[in-house]
Amino acid sequence: MRAHYPPVVLSMCAILISVIMVFLSLEIGLRFFPVRSYLPYGAVTIDDPVVHYQPQQEFVYSTYWNFQDQNEGMTNAQGYVSDFDYQTEDKTPLVAVIGDSYIEARMVPFQNTVQETLRRGLNGRARVYGFGFSGSPLSQYLAVARMVRDAYKPDMMVFNIVSNDFDESFTAYRNIPRFHYFIKDKAGDWYPELIGTYQNSWIKELVSHSALVRYIYFHLNISDTINDLLFEWRSLTVSMTTDDTREQLNVPVKDVPVADNISADMSPERISLSREGIDAFLTLLPEMTGLPPAQIILMIDGQRYDIYTGTEGSEEFFGVMRSYLMKQALARSYQVVDMHDVFAKDYARHQKKFEFEQDGHWNAYAHGLAGQALLDQTTLKNRY
């Protein structure tokens, strides 16, 4: 005798099957598009405290719903984005380039990156290895420098410094396990300290195989969308309250303006702490690199929006930090490459922008200019 199911059960089954078919269709369809890859991290431990990716991982990079800024690449045996492995036994002089996502540069073909432009220009007179990792601030650069010092014994180091490297060196502004942040030691001095180890999640690894999940997360920025919706909801629920109540509920009275791809907040606390971070960074560099200041180059990003609009020298957060960093660095005999001057002169001649249309990272054109600026740097040029 045939079983008879209530209509509501049949309807729910039909809906469920339809939903599954839609998701399967999207999953299959997206596999024909350049959906951004998930690059798994290597384990971060007390014995191996510098975060890097898992080795020998091929990846696809693209952004936004329509797959802009497409690129492909791979990580090397050491877990850094590079077309070749790094050798610890090679005695050829080494220039190590350290930075965040600007040096990692997953959005730029590897042969067009600043480190490859520099390596080709040196024409075998020195090796050039890039140690870029997304999310790294000044405090992390010091930890990377210490690792590079011990493993590779470089002849020179280059640090690429951008707008969010200052306040994000402190847990008060950013706090992500697997990174080093400035923590005060027993003597009361700032020192980079690993705030948490890291092991890859098998669930994350499993889910990352889904093109649909990666598309929703990376291309539709679902985490940002959820945060925006929560912000709007919380703003609505307290719309009739006083400003004091809004602050207690962590709902800003007004949006904080953005400049140079970061918050333009000029609070005395943020300025003071960031300057302390710069002082600690410059003080610790010789110890962490094993090099004198004359063999350390600080390459500092420009205020590109000011260049485009002709509003030179604006005193936003990054402008203040840039000026302070360069003044202190030169006073301590570090080598400085100011990319603001490089970009400004080039833009006056060619009117070409230095970042992607909807992404503030340097494009291949800017990487080429940065690489050439390093090749033109007097100390580096005379050394090799």
Model confidence pLDDT, tens digit, residues 157-185: 999 999 999 999 999 999 999 999 999 99
Residues 131-140, mean pLDDT to the nearest whole number: 97
Distance from C-alpha of 145 to C-alpha of 345, rounded to nearest angstrom = 31
Give the distance, in angstroms, between the CA of residue 72 and the centroid of all CA atoms in the same chain: 18
State residue 263's pLDDT score: 78
Is it the case that residue 248 has pLDDT exceeding 50? no
Residues 302-309, mean pLDDT to the nearest whole number: 93
State residue 17's pLDDT score: 87
State residue 22's pLDDT score: 84
State residue 265's pLDDT score: 80
Q: Report the relative pairing of strands 359-362 and 355-356 from DSSP bridges.
A: antiparallel
State residue 222's pLDDT score: 73
State residue 311's pLDDT score: 82
**What confidence category does residue 242 fall into, taking pLDDT thresholds of 50, 70 and 90?**
very low
State residue 260's pLDDT score: 63
State residue 227's pLDDT score: 54
State residue 229's pLDDT score: 57
The letter for the amino acid at 75 is T
The DSSP symbol for 38 reads: P
177, burial (CB in 10 Å: exposed 0-12, middle 13-18, buried 19+): exposed
Which one, of 283, 285, 356, 373, lies nearest residue 101 by Cα? 356
pLDDT in tens, 334-353: 999 999 999 999 999 999 99
Distance from C-alpha of 224 to C-alpha of 63, rounded to nearest angstrom = 14
Look-up of token digits 């006083």: 242
**What confidence category does residue 250 fall into, taking pLDDT thresholds of 50, 70 and 90?**
very low
Is it the case that residue 233 has pLDDT exceeding 90? no
Q: Identify the weakest region by mean pLDDT among 18-27, 286-295, 309-318.
A: 309-318
State residue 83's pLDDT score: 97
State residue 243's pLDDT score: 37
Q: What is the mean pLDDT of the chain?
A: 89
Give the chain's domains with CATH numbers.
Answer: 35-199+260-383 (3.40.50.1110)
Residues 257-285, mean pLDDT to the nearest whole number: 87
Residues 308-331, mean pLDDT to the nearest whole number: 90
